[in-house]
Structure 1
Amino acid sequence: MNCYLVLAMRRPQFDPAVVPLHQQFLDELRGQGRLERAGPFGDKSGGAYLLRAADLDEALAIAHRDPAHTSGGWDITVREWQAR
């Protein structure tokens, strides 16, 4: 499995009610062994998580199921990350 950094940046139309759904999604990924780390940015502009997936297509498919993405309130960017 490869590592992918998922950036979730809040848009102006961000709905705070989505946050618990997003956190539940991350908990499910953690339970599947796919989530390495996750957390919000200190300025409340969004957050990031480190995802394990076979390839970029799978990482995108997973990240696009995130309620942060499906709600339309956050911009999601996925990058392969070769962390050391």
Structure 2
Amino acid sequence: MSTENIFEEVEKENNKNSDYMDELSPEELAELISRYKKELARIYKLSSAKKASISSQKLHNAQYLLNKCDMEMRSDINSLKKKFGIHY
């Protein structure tokens, strides 16, 4: 698939998400945002708990594990953004 085709597919997907968001009532949009924020908070809390656990154990590879935890958190956030159709 060429680069132009990839950009066209991404643009189509963005337009579908945009159309969906335009169809939501203010109450539905507020509920969607609320669910997103709750799931995002859960991701941050889980990551924070993992980091605290790693730090308290004084492991020799703690820095590696902390970096891995950060990468997993970023991946989870990107998945969440994709799930909710959020682009920022």
TM range (shorter): 0.3 to 0.5
More helix by share: 2
Query: What's the TM-score, normalizing by structure 2?
Result: 0.34
Query: What's the TM-score, normalizing by structure 1?
Result: 0.35
Structure whose alpha-carbon radius of gyration is higher: 2
More strand by share: 1
